[in-house]
Chain A
Amino acid sequence: MILLKLCGVVLVLMSGLCLGVYASSRLRLRAESLRQLLTAVAAIRTQTRYGDELLGTVLLKAAGNAGQKTGSFLRAIAQALQSDRFLSPKEAARLALEKFSPCLALTKADAHAVLFLMEKLGCMQRKPQENYLELVELELTRLLRQAEEDAEKKGRLFSYGGACGGLLLVILMV
C-alpha cells in the first residue's frame, strides 16, 4: 500500500514537473522560431534586392538558411505557391500556419506578423519591398525580444511552478 502511494506521489510530482518543463520549452521554442524567421526575412530581403529569382525560389533558398522547423514552414509556402499560381503568398502562409503553428509554438501576435509579412511579399517593387521587409524585421525583432524575456522569466517560473504544483497536489491528496 505504501509502495503504491509512493509510486502515486512520484508520478504526480513528475507530471507537474513535466508540464512545467513543457510550458517553459514552448517559450524557448517560440523564441527560436522567431529568431529563425528573422534570419529568413533577412535572406529574403537580400535575395529580392539583388536577385531576379521568383518568390517561390527565394522562399526555398531562405528556408535553407533558416532552421529545420521554420525551414519546413517556408518550404510549404514555396511549394504551395509553385503548385498554384493563383494563390497569394498570404493565403499560402495561412495554410502553412494551420499545419506548422503548433510545432513552431507561435502566438497569435507572431502569426499575425507572419501574415503581415506575406500580405505584400512579392507584390511590390524592390525599393518599397525593402522598406516593407525592414518594417517586418522591426516587428519580428520586437516579438523576439518579448519572447526571449518570456523564456527567461517565465521559463524558470513554469518549471518550478510545475514541480510545486505537483507537490501541492501530493500534500492535498495525502
Chain B
Amino acid sequence: MKKLEEVADYLPPRLRAFFRRQNFFQPVSELRLRADCPLNVRLGSVDLLYDGIENEAYFCTAEEIEQFMRAALQNSYYAAEHMLKSGYFTLKGGHRVGIGGRAAVEDGRITGFSAVRSINIRIAHAHALADVDFVRYLCDEGQKLYSTLVVGPPLSGKTTFLRSLAHFASSGLHGVRPMQLGLVDEKSEIAGLCGTRPAFDIGWRTDILDRCPKCEGMLQLIRNMAPELLVTDEIGGPKDAEALCEAVRCGVRVLASAHANDLSELCLRPLCRQILLDGGFRRVVELKGWPAAGQVQAVYELPGKRRLQ
C-alpha cells in the first residue's frame, strides 16, 4: 500500500479522498483515468469500474486529468519531453504513467500531446514473487543465471519479475551466484531511479543507466562497466537484436523481457524470433497474469524449446 500512497500524492484532492475511502482487498496494479468516464481500477486480474452500477460512481473530469499531469510533471513538461514523445512518463518510485489524447505530430512523428484525455498509471511493485522454485532452472552448473527472456502478456508482471531476478543475481539470493549487473532502465521502471537512489532494492552489484535507449545503453555498459549480466525491459525493436548479439559476442549474459502471450506467439514475430536465435538466450520464462502478476507458467530451455517446468 506504500506504493499506492506514492501515487495518491499526485492525484487531485477529490480523487485522492475517494481513493482513500476505498478498501481494496488486493494491491492495486493499475489506475485508469479518462476524461468524463468512470474511474477504472485494476487489482490483479480484477477490473473495477466506478460507474455507479456495481461500484460507487466516480467520474473523472478533464480538469482532474490536467491537475494530475501538472502535479506529476511538476509544471515541467519540457523536462519530460523525451518520455512524453513516447507517450509515457515515470513518477517518482518507478510508476509508469501512459498517456492518450490528441497527439502533436511533426513530419509524421509524434512530438508530444496537446490535450491529454486518458491516463494509465501502473503501480510498480517490489519483489512480489510468491514461489522462487523456478530459479534453479534458470541457473547453470556454476549457479550463474543463464541468458533469460521473460515473456508474458501486458500486466503479467514482467517488470516486477525482472526486478526480482536482477535482485537475486546482484545479491546472490535463492541459490544464484552473485554477478555484476548492468541495468538499462529505458523507462525508469525497473529500478525507478530518483536522483541517484533506486526506488527498489536491486542489489549492491548493479550499475544503472536510467532513461537511456536500450541499444546504446547496453553497448555503453558492456564497454565501460564490464557487466556479467545485462538487464533490460521490453526488447523487440530492430536495433535490439544487434545490441543483444554484441552482448553475446562479448560473453555477457542478458536478462530481458518481451511482450507475447507465450513462446510460440513470440516466435511468430520475425524480429523476436531473430532475437531468440541470435540473442543467445538459453531460457525462456512464460508468465501468466493471474491469479496474481508474476506467476510462472512455464520455463523453457533453448535451443529446442524443451519445457523444464
Q: Does B bind A?
A: yes
List the interface of chain A (C-beta within 8 A of B): 48, 51-56, 58, 81, 85-86, 88-89, 121-127, 129
Which residues on B sit within 8 Å (CB–CB) of A81?
74-75
Question: CB within 8 Å of A: which of B77-97?
Answer: 77-79, 81, 84
Q: Residue-by-residue, is B187-212 near A (CB-CB < 8 Å gives 1, otherwise 0)?
A: 00000000000000000000000000
* Shortest distance between the CB of B70 and any CB in chain A (Å): 6
Q: Does B46 touch A at the CB level, under 8 Å?
A: no
Say yes or no: B78 contacts A85, CB within 8 Å.
Answer: no
Given contacts A86-B12, A86-B70, A55 and B84 within 8 Å (CB-CB):
no
A81 to B13, CA, bound (A): 16
Say yes or no: A55 contacts B70, CB within 8 Å.
Answer: no
Determine the residue in chain A with the shortest Cβ distance to B67.
Answer: A86
Residue from the list A58, A85, A88, A126 in contact with B81, Cβ < 8 A? A126
Say yes or no: A54 contacts B75, CB within 8 Å.
Answer: yes
Say yes or no: A122 contacts B67, CB within 8 Å.
Answer: no
Say yes or no: A55 contacts B75, CB within 8 Å.
Answer: yes
Say yes or no: B74 contacts A56, CB within 8 Å.
Answer: yes
Say yes or no: A123 contacts B77, CB within 8 Å.
Answer: yes
Determine the residue in chain B with the shortest Cβ distance to A85.
Answer: B71
Q: List 24 A-B contacts (CB under 8 A).
A: A48-B78, A51-B79, A53-B76, A54-B75, A54-B76, A55-B75, A56-B75, A81-B75, A85-B10, A85-B74, A86-B12, A86-B13, A86-B67, A86-B70, A88-B70, A88-B75, A122-B73, A122-B78, A123-B75, A123-B77, A124-B78, A125-B111, A126-B81, A127-B111
A53 to B71, CA, bound (A): 15
**B interface SS class:** helix
Q: Kindly name the residue among A55, A88, A125, A127 whose own CB sees the greatest number of chain B CB atoms within 10 A.
A: A125
Which residues on A sit within 8 Å (CB–CB) of B279?
none
Say yes or no: A54 contacts B12, CB within 8 Å.
Answer: no
List the interface of chain B (C-beta within 8 A of A): 9-10, 12-13, 67, 70-71, 73-79, 81, 84, 111-112
* Shortest distance between the CB of A77 and any CB in chain B (Å): 10
Determine the residue in chain B with the shortest Cβ distance to A124.
Answer: B77
A126 to B84, CA, bound (A): 12
Say yes or no: B77 contacts A53, CB within 8 Å.
Answer: no
* Shortest distance between the CB of A63 and any CB in chain B (Å): 16
Which residues on A sit within 8 Å (CB–CB) of B73?
122
5 smallest beta-carbon distances between A and B, as pairs: A122-B75, A85-B71, A55-B75, A54-B76, A52-B79
Say yes or no: A125 contacts B74, CB within 8 Å.
Answer: no
* Shortest distance between the CB of A98 and any CB in chain B (Å): 20
* Shortest distance between the CB of B107 and any CB in chain A (Å): 13
A81 to B74, CA, bound (A): 8
Which residues on B sit within 8 Å (CB–CB) of A48?
78
A103 to B78, CA, bound (A): 32
A8 to B185, CA, bound (A): 80
Which residues on B sit within 8 Å (CB–CB) of A125?
77-78, 81, 84, 111-112
* Shortest distance between the CB of B86 and any CB in chain A (Å): 13
A124 to B81, CA, bound (A): 9
Say yes or no: B71 contacts A122, CB within 8 Å.
Answer: no
Which residues on B sit within 8 Å (CB–CB) of A88?
70, 75
Which residues on B sit within 8 Å (CB–CB) of A56?
74-75
Which residues on A sit within 8 Å (CB–CB) of B112?
125
Which residues on B sit within 8 Å (CB–CB) of A124?
77-78
| Given A85-B74, A86-B70, A86-B71, 16 further pairs, Cβ under 8 A | A48-B78, A53-B79, A54-B76, A55-B75, A55-B76, A85-B9, A85-B71, A86-B12, A121-B75, A122-B73, A123-B77, A124-B78, A125-B81, A125-B84, A126-B78, A129-B78
A170 to B283, CA, bound (A): 102
Say yes or no: A54 contacts B71, CB within 8 Å.
Answer: no
A155 to B225, CA, bound (A): 67
Q: Kindly name the residue among B10, B67, B73, B76 whose own CB sees the greatest number of chain A CB atoms within 10 A.
A: B76
Determine the residue in chain A with the shortest Cβ distance to B72.
Answer: A85
Determine the residue in chain A with the shortest Cβ distance to B70.
Answer: A88
* Shortest distance between the CB of A55 and any CB in chain B (Å): 4
Which residues on A sit within 8 Å (CB–CB) of B79?
51-54
